[in-house]
A = this chain, B = another copy of it.
Amino acid sequence: MKETLQKMQAHLGKVRDLMMAGAVLSWDRETYMPQGGAAGRARQLGTLSQMAHELFVSDEVGQWLETLAPYEAEQDFDSDESSLIRVTRRDYERERRVPSELVGELARAASLGQQTWVRARQESDFSIFQPSLEKLVALRIRWAECFDYGESIYDPMLDFFEPGLTTAKVQAIFDEFRPPLVELVAAIAERQGRVDAGCLEGNFSEGAQWELGLEALRLMGFDFECGRQDRSAHPFTTSFSSNDVRITTRVDPRSIASALFSTIHEGGHALYELGVSPALDTTLLGNGASMTIHESQSRLYENVLGRSLPFWRYFYPKLQARFPHFQDVELETFYRAINRVQPSFVRVEADEVTYGLHIILRFELEQALVTGELAVADAPAAWNAKMESYLGLTPPNDTLGVLQDVHWSGGMIGYFPDYLLGSMLSVQLFAKAREGMPDLLSQIEAGRLADLLAWLREKVHTHGRKFTLDEITRRVLGTNLSPQPYLNYLRERYGEIYGLGS
């Protein structure tokens, strides 16, 4: 049995090496690759994806999994070995349904798509990106049709990023969340004059912003021997092993908040990947478990921690030291500014309260795109109409509208809901962490974030892909993911800032 497991692990180690090589090639494409490299890179990524897939779905993996079933049943559910077999089986059963050629084709289209998306953004012209998106949507539909989905063709797309998630489940949670959220947004809108975010605008040296971001990362516990930050058109995190995790950001000289909060957000993702048990490093379990859990980590650092008063009690003097602009700005003024609630165009720069509406918009548009209700050509208009209806704003151009997110250009459809679900989970996790560490806020005020990280490592990070979202929430929280704690958190933080009687 041990021998079969070793054989399978050696085989899956190669699959993983090919996948990680693909991740390096994608990272390079987003950070340093000259334009001319686009065609070659798409070919290379297509081949890597297709070969990794062929290797993974080979018959022998199926035979090993069958042979190992009784062994798996004997092992502790939590053990690395049992989890490896269990999760590999889940992946295998999903991937066996998809032809390897389609996987290769999707990878090539995604690689070319990201290039046309960058150009379309530069020119703020959706029509440059439209043919790529049409191809990607068609391929993603072909991919979803490989599955026996229930009600919606959107289901397998959600499941890909969050195993077990369905359109109906997301809908139920969003239905519970949306009315009170809209109410909160409206209540705050009536008191808009109460917060002035003018101090966040100015002319902020890109170099000093970069250094501030690195300082925040160091404070969070990001290990620069095992990772780095670079620039890209859209911030992202990628991992090549638990000892080499890369994040990216972009810098806007006119805004102090843009790069910094993106850096902290990606830093949260990175800490998760860096915290995966080294024992899982050469296996398919050596990454974060799902995108909801991933976003719970990034949104926890970005918002629950990163926009909190205790954090800024410690970190504001560091920011002031780098930017004389803030010498005469009170901490309280700054804190209120970074928490100003104001409908805006760009999701990644949205405040926490209106953020949910950005996600709900995407959840609805994605469904319309993949069910064929909405033609890709009509996506910009549909986007703008929903922005007007949900946030009262019409994007002045496509870069601030339908072209703002990188996801679709990479063939990623069905990811967005996880941002909001992850935000919900982040609040539940932080509350649980405080239960175990009553002085957590004082620690944060003192710039000590190590205990928080240790708690997250133990409860979440170290397990990699061993457990599902439900398994994690049940074992860490003793309950499931729910929107109510998140709503209470939003009401409390923003109620206080905007003086809404509770």
Contacts and interface: CB of A to CB of B under 8 A. Distances in A.
Complex copy number for this chain: 2
A287 to B, nearest CB: 12
A228 B48 contact: no
Contacts of A223: 36
A43 interface: yes
A240 B22 CA distance: 14
Contact of A240 (B21, B41, B46, B225): B41
A17 B47 contact: yes
Interface string A21-55: 11011011000111111011101101110010000
B225 A39 contact: no
B281 A34 contact: no
A244 interface: yes
Contact of A228 (B34, B44, B225): B34
Contacts of A36: 223, 225-227, 241, 243-244
Given A14-B51, A230-B32, A40 B241 contact: yes
Contacts of A39: 241, 243
A310 interface: no
Contact of A40 (B224, B227, B281): B281
Contacts of A25: 21, 24
A282 B43 CA distance: 9
A13 interface: yes
A241 B48 contact: no
A282 B41 CA distance: 11
Interface in A196-231: 223-228, 230
Interface residues of A, number: 39
Contacts of A226: 34-37
A35 B225 contact: yes
Given A24-B24, A244-B41, A47 B18 contact: yes
A20 interface: yes
Given A36-B226, A243-B37, A44 B28 contact: no
A244 B40 CA distance: 8
Contacts of A18: 47-48, 51
B282 A37 contact: no
A34 B227 contact: yes
A191 to B, nearest CB: 46
Most chain B CB within 10 A, of A14, A40, A282, is at A40
A172 B74 CA distance: 70
Contacts of A32: 32, 228, 230
Nearest to A20: B44
B17 A240 contact: no
A269 to B, nearest CB: 16
A232 to B, nearest CB: 13
A43 B244 contact: no
Contacts of A41: 240-241, 244
A147 B76 CA distance: 51
Given A17-B48, A20-B44, A51-B14, A33 B244 contact: yes
Nearest to A47: B17
Contact of A14 (B37, B47, B282): B47
Contacts of A46: 17
Contacts of A17: 43-44, 46-48
A499 to B, nearest CB: 46
Nearest to A35: B225
A478 to B, nearest CB: 35
A227 B225 CA distance: 28
A268 B230 CA distance: 28
Interface string A43-74: 11011100100000000000000000000000
Contacts of A244: 33-34, 36-37, 40-41
A34 B274 CA distance: 13
A230 B230 CA distance: 14
A227 to B, nearest CB: 6
12 contacts: A13-B43, A18-B47, A18-B51, A21-B21, A21-B48, A24-B44, A27-B28, A32-B230, A33-B244, A34-B243, A37-B240, A41-B244
Given A21-B44, A24-B24, A37-B240, 8 more contacts: A20-B44, A24-B28, A35-B226, A36-B244, A39-B241, A40-B241, A40-B244, A41-B244
Interface of A: 13-14, 17-18, 20-22, 24-25, 27-28, 32-37, 39-41, 43-44, 46-48, 51, 223-228, 230, 240-241, 243-244, 281-282
Closest 6 A/B residue pairs (Cβ): A40-B241, A37-B244, A36-B243, A36-B226, A17-B47, A17-B44
